[in-house]
Structure 1
């Protein structure tokens, strides 16, 4: 009788959402499950996946190293923390290269001063996905440091196309600079209300 290698065995992992999982199978299993959760925009899912990744040897270690480049600071910080206890010299060398990206204040200030499109995107992503008061205050402060034309254009993009919180902080940026024509346009388009735009 020919063996079917594609048929799941009882101890195989099953990706979440599949029906007819064998009894006792682990759902969302294996490295593929970790990769899927790392691609998830929900920050808690990404962090849980990182914590599991190191169970999968070199391949999992590589995923955690890649996460040092994640746009979300909390994910980068988790990856850095997980790698900090690793004894491998190559891991310690990589951590030295990334240490400047882990101090959130310095990293965000550097992005704001660079003021490129991807810098603004990263700041706005962190605002959207990490809505605690410390993050909101830091983003508010660092957006105020943006002085490039490219950065200002990108903040304008978020004023008209961002989520609710991103539009609010983009409006604050233009309000503090007294750029009222953009604010009036945003009010007219229904992106923000008059109070957000013009209250003292």
Structure 2
């Protein structure tokens, strides 16, 4: 049985959404002058003490993320999607800092080759696979909601748009009465129709 989707008009939901939007938008606006300040104030050269720890620690996190992503893929888990996005992001960061920090050094060629031939292609593959899995999950949910029109692109689909439709479809199929009765009615309807579209 699917959980009820929270109403966008619920006061708690609206309050949490306003807080979230304020934090994200405020962070975005703060970073614009901060980047300008850093570009004017940071030195071009700086000695650091924990260079080895920074890179070994980052690569250790990358290995853990890549391992969890591979495990989720082998076990066909939905958690593959967020882990693939996280790992792709880490790979992109790794490529960026490797190339930029090794510029005009003896390691520049190796960093460029590693970024172009390994890190960035793997990141692109993970993002592509995550998008495909999201799209496939959406198509299944679209079908279970009883929709026959084409699935819109992810860029135009609003959040939790299907949850309300699934709940509405379940109520129409089961009619009025307690949730247990509606659920039993849905099971009976599915049995009569064969492979129906009800969830």
Q: What TM-score, normalized by structure 2, do the two folds share?
A: 0.30
Larger radius of gyration: 2
Which of structures 1 and 2 has the larger relative contact order (alpha carbons within 8 angstroms, sep 6+)?
A: 2
Higher helix share: 2
TM-score normalized by structure 1? 0.30
